[in-house]
Amino acid sequence: MKVKDYLSEEAVILGLEASTSEEVIRALGGRLRELGYVKENFVEAALEREMNMPTGLPLGGIYNAAIPHVDIEYVNKSALGLATLRYPVVFKNMVENQVDVPCQLVIMLALDKPKSQVEMLQSVAGLLQSPEIIEKIVKAQTVAEIFKSLP
Amino acid sequence: MTKTVIVSCGTAVATSTVAAKAIEEACKKAGIAVVTKQCKSAELQGYISQGADLIVSTTQMRFDPGIPVLNGLPFLTGMGKDKLIEEILELLKD
Q: Concatenate the DSSP letters of all residues of A4-41 into one string.
A: HHHEEEEEEEEEE--SSHHHHHHHHHHHHHHTTSB-TT
B48-89 per-position pLDDT tens digit: 999 999 999 999 999 999 999 999 999 999 999 999 999 999
Partner B contacted by A95 (CB < 8 A): yes
**How far does chain A reach from its first CA to its final CA, in angstroms?**
10
What is the reported pLDDT for B6?
A: 97
Partner B contacted by A150 (CB < 8 A): no
What is the reported pLDDT for B94?
A: 79
Asked if the model's pLDDT at residue B47 lies above 70, the reply is: yes
Partner B contacted by A9 (CB < 8 A): no
**pLDDT-above-70 percentage for chain A:** 99
pLDDT classification of A93: cutoffs 50, 70, 90 = very high
* Class of B3-92 in CATH: alpha beta
Give me the mean pLDDT over the A29-45 stretch: 98
Which residues, at least 6 apart from A88, have a Cβ–Cβ distance to it below 8 Å? A64, A102, A103, A104
Asked if the model's pLDDT at residue A116 lies above 80, the reply is: no
Report CB contact under 8 Å: B58, A95: yes
What is the reported pLDDT for A115?
A: 67
What is the reported pLDDT for A103?
A: 98
Nearest CA in chain A to B81: A129
Give me the mean pLDDT over the A100-112 stretch: 97
Partner B contacted by A72 (CB < 8 A): yes
pLDDT classification of A41: cutoffs 50, 70, 90 = very high
Closest CA to A67 of A52, A78, A77, A54: A54
Task: Report CA B76 to chain centroid distance, whole Å.
Answer: 13
Number of A–B residue contacts, CB under 8 Å:
78
Report the interhelical angle of B81-92 vs B15-30 (nearest 10°).
60
**What's the mean per-residue pLDDT of chain B?**
95
Quote the CA–CA distance of B20 and A70 in Å, as a whole number. 19
On chain B, the residues whose CB falls within 8 A of the CB of A95 are: 57-60, 71-73
Asked if the model's pLDDT at residue A117 lies above 90, the reply is: no
The shortest CB-CB distance from A60 to any of B11, B13, B78 is to B78
Strand blocks (E) in chain A: 7-16, 56-57, 64-66, 79-92, 100-110
Quote the CA–CA distance of A63 and A2 in Å, as a whole number. 22
Asked if the model's pLDDT at residue A50 lies above 90, the reply is: yes
Asked if the model's pLDDT at residue A10 lies above 90, the reply is: yes
Contact call for residues A81 and A110 (beta carbons, < 8 A):
yes
Report CB contact under 8 Å: A128, B15: no
Give me the mean pLDDT over the A98-127 stretch: 91
Report CB contact under 8 Å: A128, B78: yes
